[in-house]
């Protein structure tokens, strides 16, 4: 009798799941999206432009940001390329929220105390921890609007000047 009741319960819940549009996630459900974002580093007072390639499966999201920015310093006004892989969790489908952590290269000034040179040296090879929170709103079948806030955790060393980096970016993306 218990087996018959469990069978009927399983059939009933399966029908409810089908009627509600529930689709169980499988390993083949890998979603890929590409977005272009522009924004502002409001602690470093410089604009930011990024291309974001994202991968999602189950509730895990991984993405790679490649972009361009500059720093507000007298030694160097040139822009430099940033590279930032991140991984985290997401929730939602049409309205998607994600929280991620990763790392990113960013600029710093190594002073004469550290470099043993006659002048300060501008470097862009420092890797720093990064956290970001983002939101995606699906506006068409495959197009979405995205917004991100990210913060870079720079370290504190004597003889090195690190630049603050807290970005707010918005952009447009496409799901493949």
Tally of domains in the chain? 1
Question: Is 61 within the bounds of a domain?
Answer: yes
Question: Is 1 within the bounds of a domain?
Answer: no
d(CA 151, CA 129): 9
Whichever domain contains 40, its CATH number is: 2.40.160.20
DSSP structural state of residue 163: P
Closest CA to 99 of 52, 131, 55, 59: 131
What residue numbers bound the domain in which 142 lies? Answer: 26-175
Mean pLDDT confidence for 14-25: 53
How does residue 35 score in pLDDT terms, banded at 50, 70 and 90?
A: very high
What does DSSP say about strands 46-57 and 60-70: parallel, antiparallel, or unpaired?
antiparallel
Residue 58 zone, left/alpha/beta (φ > 0; ψ -120 to 50; rest): left
Question: Is 60 within the bounds of a domain?
Answer: yes
How does residue 20 score in pLDDT terms, banded at 50, 70 and 90?
A: very low
d(CA 45, CA 32): 32
pLDDT of res. 70: 73
The structure's pTM equals 0.70
d(CA 64, CA 47): 19
Question: Is 166 within the bounds of a domain?
Answer: yes
Residues 43, 169 contacting (CB under 8 angstroms): no
pLDDT digits (tens, 9 = 90+) for 71-120: 666 655 667 778 889 999 998 888 899 999 998 877 666 666 656 666 66
């Amino acid at each position: 009798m218990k087996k018959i009741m469990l069978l009927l319960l399983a059939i009933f819940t399966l029908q409810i799941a089908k009627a509600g549009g529930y689709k169980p996630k499988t390993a083949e459900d890998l979603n890929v999206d590409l977005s272009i974002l522009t924004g502002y580093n409001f602690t470093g007072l410089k604009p930011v432009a990024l291309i974001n390639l994202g991968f999602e499966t189950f509730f895990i999201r991984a993405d790679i940001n490649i972009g361009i920015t500059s720093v507000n310093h007298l030694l160097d006004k040139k822009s430099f390329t940033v590279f930032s892989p991140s991984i985290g969790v997401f929730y939602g489908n049409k309205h998607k929220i994600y929280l991620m952590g990763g790392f990113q290269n960013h600029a710093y000034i190594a002073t004469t105390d550290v470099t043993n040179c006659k002048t300060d040296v501008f470097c862009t090879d420092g890797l720093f921890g990064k956290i970001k929170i983002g939101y995606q709103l699906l506006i068409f079948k495959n197009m979405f609007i995205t917004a991100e806030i990210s913060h870079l955790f720079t370290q504190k060393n004597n003889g090195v000047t690190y630049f603050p980096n807290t970005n707010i970016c918005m952009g447009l993306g496409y799901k493949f």
